[in-house]
């Protein structure tokens, strides 16, 4: 973990080596987009795993409700994935239509 953190800091120093403020904003936007997408994907994956585990457990307890549980699970998965897609849209806006660049 320490090696990863040191590598991240070293690469961050290269990314932030710009001379003007505009390049700094672009560099911060790239780092923020990467970290934001990573956290959103991590949270989405954890939520999807819990949803699938709960659906499998519910189907194992009562196999007759399997169809209703699967339908509810797919709706929940779509809502979880929507949050990750919203993060992707915000990251793309920060990268290509950056509102902080005057």
For residues 76 and 102, what is the distance between their CA atoms, to the nearest angstrom?
Answer: 40
Domain count, the chain: 1
| Range of the structural domain that residue 84 is part of | 21-96
For residues 91 and 74, what is the distance between their CA atoms, to the nearest angstrom?
Answer: 26
Per residue in 76-96, pLDDT tens? 999 999 999 999 999 888 888
For residue 30, being part of any structural domain is answered with yes
For residue 14, being part of any structural domain is answered with no
For residue 88, being part of any structural domain is answered with yes
Q: For residue 58, what is the domain's CATH number?
A: 1.20.20.10
98: left (phi over 0), alpha (psi -120 to 50) or beta: beta
Is the pTM above the cut of 0.85? Answer: no
- Please say if the pLDDT value at position 18 is more than 60: no
- Please say if the pLDDT value at position 17 is more than 70: no
For residue 6, being part of any structural domain is answered with no
For residue 89, being part of any structural domain is answered with yes
């Amino acid at each position: 973990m320490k090696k990863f953190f040191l590598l991240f800091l070293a690469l961050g120093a290269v990314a932030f080596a710009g001379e003007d403020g505009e390049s700094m904003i672009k560099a911060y936007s790239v780092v923020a987009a990467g970290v934001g997408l990573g956290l959103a994907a991590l949270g989405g994956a954890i939520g999807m795993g819990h949803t699938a585990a709960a659906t499998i457990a519910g189907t194992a307890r009562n196999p007759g409700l399997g169809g209703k549980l699967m339908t509810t699970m797919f709706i929940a998965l779509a809502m979880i994935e929507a949050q990750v897609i919203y993060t992707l849209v915000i990251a793309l806006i920060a990268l290509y239509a950056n509102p902080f660049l005057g």
